Structure formats: structure tokens, C-alpha cells
Structure 1
Amino acid sequence: MASELVGASKAAPELVEAVRVRLAKTGEEATPARVAAALRAERAMFGDAEVLAIARTLRADLIGAGPLEALLAAPGVTDVLVNGPHEVWVDDGTGLRRTTVTFPSDDDVRRLAQRLAAAAGRRLDDASPYVDARLAGGVRLHAVLPPIAAEATCLSLRLPPRHSFTLEELVPGPAATALRAIMSARLAFLITGGTGTGKTTLLSAMLSLATPGERLLLVEDSAELRPRHPHVVRLEARPPNLEGVGGVTLRDLVRQALRMRPDRLVVGEVRGSEVVDLLAALNTGHEGGCGTLHANTAADVPPRLEALACAAGLTREAVHSQLSAALDAVIHLTRNPRTGTRQVSEICLLHRTPTGYVTATPALTFTTPTPTPGPALPTLKAHCPDIP
């Protein structure tokens, strides 16, 4: 490996660029044999190790993530964030840290962002200066170009989980017992929290607990859920093409999923008008439905759902009427910004007050090693006999 890196460093950037241009003109893949032929055409003499190193560099630049390729392949990395050519950060589960990776210029960051967007069938240019897309392998891409990004091109890559975790790997004993009981009782629930708190990872682990005879219908913007379960059907939203047509929304997919005989309807992330169809579905005999939702606290969930549903055309009274009958529990996650550790902070039940509006009432809080009971714990135990 060391000799290959040394060999790659001997190749002048001008030579690597000449080989890149030659391969781009022919449209050929940057295989070692074609790189060797291009090097000979440029009258450059290198050994096998150097040719392989240059081939890897060119493949990363032409069809991979360029200088970010090694970061994306590193164990434990969940996010790679580029704030211009000289600031590349990663999160490997212990919080964000700055890396030594850099780009020659902002133009190089821009070209990489545009190439990744094009690979996902999306447009990224001055007329459309931002993009949100999914790459091959499930990597989530978000990019913003100047002048929208004031200082430099910003690029965010979020990797899907490399493997499915068990519930016990994610959550300590008492919380895991409660979550297992919620799944066993087929309560309808939402997992909530901020960005990076592990909502999708926990939902995958909980869905893995569903009995093998159940049929799981997963509706997602980007296929991220990976439950260990024998009967999973995945539906994935599709953005409009370059002409602005052909898009398929989450709301479209929720409606289709209801016609596919789901035992559990799962919406990977509730973020728009699909909340109307989800609430309606959970009110018509589809027990055990679940999903994730961005929220700062469990108490913020009812007003957050209210805002989404009202924007989709429901009245406030109709939202709370459906909400009280559709959803049972909220499982809220938090993340320590200093250590990067994630945890279940509380489990709440949704309760309709005499005013007719729904609130989130704590049942169990996990801010200390011993769970703290809340006013809704007797009701939760009545629904879930497995909770001691």
C-alpha cells in the first residue's frame, strides 16, 4: 500500500489530468488496463503499483466521491460534510471532527457536487443551486452552490447504516423492555428527535421485533430502514425529472401501501402532507403503524403534526380528533453534542384533554440510570402488560 501511494505521488497532477481528459473523450471506464494505455499514450512510464494507484485516483474522481472516497469507506462514519475546499468534517459516532482532506479549489468541490447530482438524475447549477438526492448504495446527498452558500460550495453526504442493530445494542435494559412491549402490544408510535439522534436506526431495530407472520410496508423518501424481517415491502419516493414531471410523493405511496394489505404501515419520515393519509390509515384498523418525525421534544409532537396536517388542508379540530385515535405513543431520542452518544430520553402517551386538543404525557423518562415514572405510566402498563 505504501509503495502504491508513493507511486501515485510521483504522477504529476498535469499527467493525471491528461489521462482523465483522454478517458473522458473516449467515454471509457478508468480500468487499470485503460489507465496504463492512456499513460503510454502520454509517453509516461510507471510500474504496475503506480498504474493501480493512478487508476484508483481517477476512478474516485470520475465515478466515485473523489478525495472523499476514503472517508466514506472508513468504519463507523455516518456523515461527511464539506464546507468549501479546505474544510472537510466527518462524524464517526463520537461527534464531528475535522479531517486533513482538502480540495485544490472550490471549483473542484462544485464539480464533484454536480457529478454526484447528475449520477442521481438531478440538476445542480446556477439556475438550480441546491439538490437533495439519493446516490447508489443509499448515500444521501445534499449540496448548495454559491451564492446561496455564502462562502463556498457545501456538500453533505449521509451514509446508510452498514448493518442492522439489535434493540439491545442500541438501548439499555429498562428502555429496551418498554420498547419491546410497545411492539408486542402493536401500539401506533412515532420515534422523534433532532437530526442525527438515530431515529431511523432505532426504528429498524424495533421493526425487526415484529412477528415473522406480519407484512411490513415501508414508505420512504430514501430507502434507509433495514429491519431484519422476512416480509418487507419497500416503496420509495421519486423526485421529478429535469423536465419537472414524473415525481412520486410520499403521500402517493402511503395511498398505494394501503392497497397492499399491510400489517404494519411504516412512514420512514413524516414531513409533509402524507401525515393526513397516515392518520386516516391508523384510524381504520391498521394497528402498529409507526414512523419518525423531527421534533425538539416529545411535547412538541402534537403541534408539529398539527402544523403539517393543517398545511395539507385539515382543520385544527380535525387534526386533534384524528391524532387522539390514531397514535398511541411517542418515543423521543436525544444526542449529547459533546460525546455524540444517543439515547432514548422519554416515552410519552398522547392524551386528549377536555379542551379537545392532544398533548404528550410522560410515561417513562430515562435521564437517570433508573427510569423515572410519569403520570401516563399506568395507562402504558395497561396497554403493554409486558412492562414490569
Structure 2
Amino acid sequence: MKGPPGAGRTSGPSVGERRRAGRGQDVRNRRAVDAGLLESVRETMMADAGAVTPSRVAAAVQATGKLLGTAGSLAAAERISAELNGLGPLQELTRDPATTDIFVNAPDSVWVDRGQGIERTPLVFDGEAQLRALACRLVAAGGRRLDDGSPCVDVRLAGGYRVHAVLPPVSTAGTLLSIRIRREKVFTMSELGAAGLFGPRLQIVLEKIVEHRLSFLISGATGSGKTTLLSTLLGLCSPEERLVLIEDASELNPVHPHVVSLESRHGNLEGGGEVDLGELVRQALRMRPDRLVVGECRGAEVRELLTAMNTGHSGGGGTIHANTATAVPARLTALGALAGLGPDAVRLQASSALDVVIHVERTPRGREVACVGIIGDGPDGLIVVPGLQMAAGVPGPAWPALAARLGLDPADLP
């Protein structure tokens, strides 16, 4: 006769529970071994002043005498290289070429952007101490300091990483990391079109903007594809032209035979050695540029962008954060106020310096060029009049004027 449910069972764990516990213990053991191995290799590497290279790390792993096997040794060397000289646990996320951003909100909250929106990953840190140590090491590798006296830092690292870190108590939830990945590959216009950024007809308009040397701003939100599009458009410039790029943090890498890049420099701990965008614009004018490009405007550097584009060098470009193309004038005015420029000064400079605004957006379908408009001086101040509005699928009121400036027949596009 069968006994009641549960009869005959001991009070100990079941076979499944013991297996799960065993697997958990194996993971803890591997972590312990990895931590000990990491410390041993770190001591070996720090004993020599040479660069931390993969070959040196592999040799140091082998020298520990641990029996890891060929695959295990390679995996250990790769992980330790990332811990000593890379992004640590985050390094594996960079293997996907579609990854453009990595966000760490907490030790157990790591997110990536692969172009289709932000996705959570299963990756976790051991704790806040490990996350903070990584943030401090990355910032130190960029020549800056991250501590209570400097809790918010932005640096650029070798390998194309732009790292922004925030420490408590500025961050109420713990250490925050935001990493933008600059891919060395620059897309062609055909590749951007195939990815859905624009259609064939709009591609013709964008190419004509560069060909006819119209000065333009690419507007949009963070991560909308402004820098990607700007790099590609600059690659369309004539090979005989000399491009001088001025950036706060170097991100542009157009495929062009004659590119000169200038990057601003922060001051040292004593405040000396700073080279700002204004100084870079002055230096660029002595370098006989054919086109001047100011990579990004987030603050008072709008003065330098407008100055650069008002020096007689047509065909320049830049990027700016704005909600829509028609909101760019208000954005320029607000940023101009930070630089001590009044609305009239911004209006006069911008209407003289700029011809076109290209607005890009992130949509459920991906990144898209939403609008191309003409910037000019209206009765009530600076305005942007849409020439092409992709969302509406029809030309805007400025299309005839834009088409005329580009040498197109207004009837060529719907």
C-alpha cells in the first residue's frame, strides 16, 4: 500500500537540489580560482614596467602552473587582459559589432544598445566594489581622476571607447558607467540606405548637399546616428579638399585621403594645459582648410561652431542635440546664451553660416533621417523651414527652394 505523499523521503535535499547546489559551488570555485589567478598574474605583470600585452598575460597565466587546458588558458588570458587593460567583465559585450553603447546602472543591471533599442544583458558584477574599481581604472587610463572630488568624468580611451562615469552621492544608486563604442568601420551611403536611414531619393539630396558645398547641421538625440551620418557625408567630399575636424572628443573618422583632426584637451589638476574649442578654431584657420567641421555642440562651443562656419569656408558641418529640425533655432539661441551671445547675434551668425539642417531620429524601425530643412532669417527670428519631411511622406514648403539650390527639378521628388 502506498504511503501518504512524501512518505519515505528523508529530510535532506533531493537529488535535483544537490545537483543545483553542486553547480552553484562549481561556479563559486571557478570565481575563487579566477580571482586568485587574476591576483597572481597581476602581481607578475606589475613587477615589470612593460606594456600589458596579450602575449605577456598568456605567458603569466602559463607560469602560474594551473592546469587549465588549452581552451581554459586562452579564456583565462583573455579575461585577465580585459581586467588589466580593457573593459573588464564588459569586454565580452564589445564582440558584437552591432553594439554601440554599454550602460551599467548597478552591479546586476547591465544594458546594451545594438541599434534596436536598449536591451538588458545577463552579465553581472561581483559587487559595487568591483564596478567602482573598473570605473576608476578606466578613467585613470584616460588621464583623468575619478573620486569624491571629481565624481563625474568623461574620457576617451584607446580602442575607440568613450567612457562616462558617475560616483555616489551624485549618483543615488551607486557607480554608473556609460560607454560609447566607436567602430573603425565607416559606412557608405549605400550601406546606410540599406539599413533604413534614408531612401534612394533622399540619398540624392544628401549627396547634393555635400557636392554643392552647403553648410549643414545634423540634429537629433544622443545615439540617433548623427556622428555616423556626418562621417559618411564627409567621405563624399572631393579628394582634393583638405578637411579639418575640431572635436571635444575625437569620434569622426571619415574615409577621405586628407583629414586633419584636432581634439580639445582638459586642464591638469592645477588647471593648466587646457586647450578649448575656441583655440582649436583659431589654430584650424592657420591650416588652410577647405572645409571646417566642429563635431558636436552641447554648450557654449556653439560660438566656435558659428565662428568656424563664418570664416568663408563653405561646406562645413557639425552636429547638435535637438528634438526636431524646427527646434534647432531655439537650441542655438539657448546655447548661444551660455556663450554670452544675444539672440540677435546668434540669428545673424547662424543665418549667414548655415544652409541646411538634417534631422535624424530613433524610431521603432531604427534610425532614420526624419527631415531636411532650410535655415534662414524669418520675420520673428531664426527659423528652419522643412524641405523634406519623411514622416509625412511629402515635400515640405521649402522643397522648391532647396531643390533649386541643389540643382534638382522640384518635380523629381514627390
1:31 to 27, 43, 57: 57
Give the Cα–Cα distance (whole angstroms) in 2 for the partners of residues 66 and 342 of structure 1.
30
Percent identity of the aligned residues? 49
Do the aligned residues in 2 keep the contact of 1:255 with 1:277 (CA within 8 Å)?
no
Do the aligned residues in 1 keep the contact of 2:165 with 2:177 (CA within 8 Å)?
yes
2:242 alignment partner in structure 1:
215
Do the aligned residues in 2 keep the contact of 1:130 with 1:143 (CA within 8 Å)?
yes
Give the Cα–Cα distance (whole angstroms) in 2 for the partners of residues 114 and 173 of structure 1.
46
Matched, 1:363 2:399: no
Query: 1:269/1:335 Cα in 2 relative to 1: closer, same or farther (>3 Å)?
Result: same
Q: What is the CA distance between 1:86 and its match in structure 2?
A: 0.4
Q: What is the CA distance between 1:75 and its match in structure 2?
A: 2.0
Query: 1:27/1:127 Cα in 2 relative to 1: closer, same or farther (>3 Å)?
Result: farther
Q: Mapping of 1:233-312 within 5 angstroms?
A: 233-312=260-339
Q: List per-residue Cα deviations over 1:305-341 (Å, max 9, x = no partner).
A: 11222221222212111111111110001101x45x0
Q: List per-residue Cα deviations over 1:51-91 (Å, max 9, x = no partner).
A: 33322222111111111111012221101111111011111
CA RMSD of aligned residues (A): 2.1
2:7 alignment partner in structure 1:
none
Matched, 1:57 2:94: no
Matched, 1:19 2:34: no
1:146 alignment partner in structure 2:
168
Give the Cα–Cα distance (whole angstroms) in 1 for the partners of residues 67 and 62 of structure 2.
9
Q: Mapping of 1:120-131 within 5 angstroms?
A: 120-131=142-153
Task: Tell me which amino acid in the other structure corresponds to 1:342.
Answer: R
Aligned residues: 374
Q: What is the CA distance between 1:197 and its match in structure 2?
A: 0.6
Normalised by the size of structure 1, how large is the TM-score? 0.91
Q: In structure 2, the residue corresponding to 1:268 is in which secondary structure?
A: strand
Deviates more, 1:24-33 or 1:218-227: 24-33
Give the Cα–Cα distance (whole angstroms) in 2 for the partners of residues 276 and 376 of structure 1.
27
Task: Tell me which amino acid in the other structure corresponds to 1:157.
Answer: I
Q: What is the CA distance between 1:351 and its match in structure 2?
A: 2.3
Q: List per-residue Cα deviations over 1:122-146 (Å, max 9, x = no partner).
A: 1001221111010112211001111
Give the Cα–Cα distance (whole angstroms) in 2 for the partners of residues 22 and 281 of structure 1.
50
Normalised by the size of structure 2, how large is the TM-score? 0.85
1:344 alignment partner in structure 2:
369
Task: Tell me which amino acid in the other structure corresponds to 1:249.
Answer: D
1:183 to 210, 221, 231: 210
Do the aligned residues in 2 keep the contact of 1:218 with 1:233 (CA within 8 Å)?
yes
Q: Mapping of 1:74-223 within 5 angstroms?
A: 74-170=96-192, 171-223=198-250
Give the Cα–Cα distance (whole angstroms) in 2 for the partners of residues 198 and 56 of structure 1.
31
Give the Cα–Cα distance (whole angstroms) in 2 for the partners of residues 108 and 172 of structure 1.
46
Do the aligned residues in 1 keep the contact of 2:45 with 2:57 (CA within 8 Å)?
no
Tell me which of the two structures has the higher relative contact order, counting C-alpha pairs closer than 8 angstroms and 6 or more residues apart: 1
Q: Which has the larger radius of gyration?
A: 2
Query: 1:190/1:14 Cα in 2 relative to 1: closer, same or farther (>3 Å)?
Result: closer
Give the Cα–Cα distance (whole angstroms) in 1 for the partners of residues 338 and 86 of structure 2.
40
- The runs of 5 or more residues in structure 1 that have no matched partner are 1-5
Q: What is the CA distance between 1:304 and its match in structure 2?
A: 1.1
